[in-house]
Amino acid sequence: MTGESEQALVLLSGGQDSSTCLYWAIEHFGRDAVSAIGFDYGQKHSIELTCARTIAARAGVAYTCLPINTFAALGGDALTEEGVAVEQEPDAETGLPNTFVPGRNLIFLTYAAAFAYQRDIAHLVTGVSQTDYSGYPDCRQATIDSLQQTIQLGMESDIEIHTPLMRLSKKETVELARDLGALEVMADTHTCYNGSRPPCGACSACQLRAQGFAEAGIEDPLIAHA
Amino acid sequence: MTGESEQALVLLSGGQDSSTCLYWAIEHFGRDAVSAIGFDYGQKHSIELTCARTIAARAGVAYTCLPINTFAALGGDALTEEGVAVEQEPDAETGLPNTFVPGRNLIFLTYAAAFAYQRDIAHLVTGVSQTDYSGYPDCRQATIDSLQQTIQLGMESDIEIHTPLMRLSKKETVELARDLGALEVMADTHTCYNGSRPPCGACSACQLRAQGFAEAGIEDPLIAHA
């Protein structure tokens, strides 16, 4: 438990991992010290934003959604560009999945830091993980460490970036969600790359999620309530 | 002179410094290897964007303007928020001028890096300077170095950020512009914080510019053509 003046801002996408992080932040900083931020960046499945809003409301924290129209202008990725199908196999040349927006997490975290800076919030919390990571170099601890330094230098601030899931497997993340009481909102989270509710079960995101719940021996509330 | 395959992307705001950098990049990488990028972020004086487009055209390089609607949503700074006057004195608490958008250059450079990544462009060029810098911590070399590392880690790329004006005084920047043949576009640049053409001459940006030309003993084409 940190001092009363320590506030935390959670990057809440509406997915399983960031929702778990929201409850982690509430546990560590206290509910009154926690708020959440999300980004409307032209993602194909805006249902994520509805999920994030619902989850924040159920958790009892304020939620702000910032618009980002720049990714769509940059173009070329499967999550924002209509007509680009999500491929299961990573790009042969880069080894990255074609859902990759170069620097997406760097942008999200830098905007979150600017928002936090203006409100004297000293802690950012993000659900990135390098254990089961999907090929995104901006999810690794080395990148986050470097970004934290960049933000501290560039904004003359002491903002810290917390990554409670960084070294957890999907199974361990599910167990953490259970221990934090976060399973109660898991039926409101969104994971499926194809935007289906109930989830398609076939895309890599659905499969990774199902595997985590199966290995933890816990029923996924999203499936149970479908 | 770098090899033919080395391309460079210049962050072109339409101001004196970035226009000088455009000519620096043309000198170092060759005109055909250089392109320019700018950002329509809701700045009060959209004349900057017109200037940037004109300057790129006169220099014979391609120019892309990316929209950023996020700063306006973040709010709270004098350059984007109507009704907030530009103050001459820095904020008493932070020591920063109230034209400061937290992390603005971090965002610009990260977007430029994403744009460059998608086009196999390995070099970014930005006109930031810590010599006469206006109190912006994201203009310092230590910040840029850290950001370059963050981008290299987060995008798995070798993108380099060049800062040819970092240690130059305004006088030296004017002399560099002369040596590079960049004075020819100086009448098309925009500097004035109050958005005036001809420039107001009173704001800190106008005064810094005038001092640089005066010390270099060169007539400012922007004033001469007014």
CA distances to A75, A136, A204, B159 from A93, rounded to whole Å, are 18, 14, 20, 17
Contact residues for B89 (Cβ-Cβ < 8 A; gap 6+): none
- Asked whether the predicted pLDDT for residue B95 surpasses 60, the reply is no
Q: Which residue in A68, A146, A150 is closest to B106 by CB distance? A: A150
- Could you list the beta-strand ranges (E) of A68-182: 123-125, 160-162
pLDDT at B11: 98
pLDDT at B176: 98
pLDDT at B80: 52
d(CA B139, CA B21) in angstroms, rounded, equals: 15
**Structural domains for chain B:** 8-182 (3.40.50.620)
pLDDT at B76: 57
Question: What sign does the CA torsion over B145, B150, B152, B155 have?
Answer: negative
Name every residue in A having a CB less than 8 A away from some CB of B.
Answer: 66-70, 73-74, 76, 94, 96, 101-103, 105-107, 110-111, 113-115, 117-118, 137-138, 140, 142-143, 146-147, 149-151, 153-156
This complex has an ipTM of: 0.88
- Asked whether the predicted pLDDT for residue B43 surpasses 90, the reply is no
- Asked whether the predicted pLDDT for residue B44 surpasses 80, the reply is no
Contacts of the segment A207-210: beta carbons below 8 A, 24+ positions apart: A208/A132, A208/A134, A208/A170, A209/A16, A209/A170
pLDDT at A83: 52
d(CA B141, CA B160) in angstroms, rounded, equals: 13
pLDDT at B72: 84
Interface test with B, best of A100, A141, A146, A157 (most B CBs within 10 A): A146
Q: Does B155 contact A140 at a Cβ distance shorter than 8 Å?
A: no
d(CA B218, CA B208) in angstroms, rounded, equals: 14
Which residues in chain A land under pLDDT 50? 1-3, 78-79, 81-82, 86-88, 93-94, 96-99
Q: Does B105 contact A68 at a Cβ distance shorter than 8 Å?
A: no
pLDDT at B81: 47
SS3 for B128? coil
Provide the 8-state DSSP code for A91. P
pLDDT at B88: 47
Question: A128 and A139 in contact (C-beta within 8 Å)?
Answer: yes
Q: Which residue in A102, A115, A154 is closest to B105 by CB distance? A: A154
Lowest mean pLDDT among A191-200, B122-131, B144-153: A191-200
* Residues of chain B found within 8 Å of residue A106, distances taken between Cβ atoms: 110, 150-151, 154
Backbone angles phi, psi at A27, to 5 degrees: -65, -40
- Top mean-pLDDT range of A39-48, A84-93, B13-22, B185-194: B13-22
Q: Using 50, 70 and 90 to split pLDDT, how confident is the model at B164?
A: very high
User: Considering the entire predicted model, what is its pTM?
Assistant: 0.89
Mean pLDDT of B38-62: 92
- Asked whether the predicted pLDDT for residue B133 surpasses 70, the reply is no
More confident residue, B31 or A82: B31
pLDDT at B113: 97
